[in-house]
Amino acid sequence: MSDGRIVVVGTTSDYIDHIRRNYPDRALFITDPQERAKAAEAVPEPYEEVLTGLNNFNHVLANLHQHLNLYGVKPAGIACYDCESLGLSAYLARKLRLMFPSENSVRLSRNKYFSKNLWQQAGLPCPAVILVRDLSDMLQFMDKIGKPLIIKPLTGAGSELVFKCTDHDDCRRAFETITSQMINRRKLRLYHSEDIKSAGVKPLKEFAAEEFVDGTEYSCDFLIEADRVEIFRIARKINALDQTPGTITAYVVPADLPEKIDCEQFKFMLAKAAHIMGFKRAICMVDFIVHQDRVYLLEITPRPGGDCLPRLISYSCGLDMIGLALDFAEGKPVSISEALHWEILVGLRILAKRSGVIRSIDDHVIVRDSRVRECFILRSTKHKVIFPPDDYESRLLGHVIFKPVSSKCIEQECFEIESKLIVEMEDSPWKSMQAQ
Concatenate the DSSP letters of all residues of 44-81 into one string: PPGGGEEE--SS-HHHHHHHHHHHHHHHT-EEEEEE--
Q: Classify 4-100 by CATH class.
A: alpha beta
Distance CA 336, CA 234 (A): 14
pLDDT band for 433, please (50, 70, 90 cuts). Answer: very low
Each residue's pLDDT tens digit, 3-41: 799 999 999 999 999 999 999 999 999 999 999 999 989
Distance CA 36, CA 49 (A): 10
The helix (run of H) or strand (run of E) holding residue 316 is helix 309-317
Residues of the chain with CATH 3.30.470.20: 214-343, 345-435
Return the pLDDT at 95.
97
Each residue's pLDDT tens digit, 271-303: 999 999 999 999 999 999 999 999 999 999 999
pLDDT band for 184, please (50, 70, 90 cuts). Answer: confident
Return the pLDDT at 192.
65
How large a percentage of the chain has pLDDT more than 90?
Answer: 84
Distance CA 298, CA 237 (A): 13
SS3 state at 315: helix
Each residue's pLDDT tens digit, 114-132: 999 999 999 999 999 999 9
Return the pLDDT at 427.
83
Each residue's pLDDT tens digit, 47-86: 999 999 999 999 999 999 999 999 999 999 999 999 999 9
Question: Are 410 and 255 in contact, with CB atoms under 8 Å apart?
Answer: no
Least confident of 46-55, 187-196, 392-401, 425-434: 425-434
Residues of the chain with CATH 3.40.50.20: 4-100
Average pLDDT, the chain: 92
Residue 201 has pLDDT above 70, yes or no: no
- Residue 152's closest CA among 160, 139, 165, 162? 162
What's domain 214-343's architecture? 2-Layer Sandwich (3.30)
Distance CA 172, CA 406 (A): 42
Each residue's pLDDT tens digit, 217-267: 999 999 999 889 999 999 999 999 888 888 999 999 999 899 999 999 999
Distance CA 279, CA 302 (A): 8
Q: Is 265 exposed, middle or buried (0-12, 13-18, 19+ CB in 10 A)?
A: exposed
Each residue's pLDDT tens digit, 343-353: 999 999 999 99
Distance CA 368, CA 347 (A): 17
Residues of the chain with CATH 3.30.1490.20: 128-212
CATH 3.30.1490.20 assigned to domain 128-212? The reply is yes
What's domain 345-435's architecture? 2-Layer Sandwich (3.30)
Q: Is 394 exposed, middle or buried (0-12, 13-18, 19+ CB in 10 A)?
A: middle
How large a percentage of the chain has pLDDT more than 70?
Answer: 95
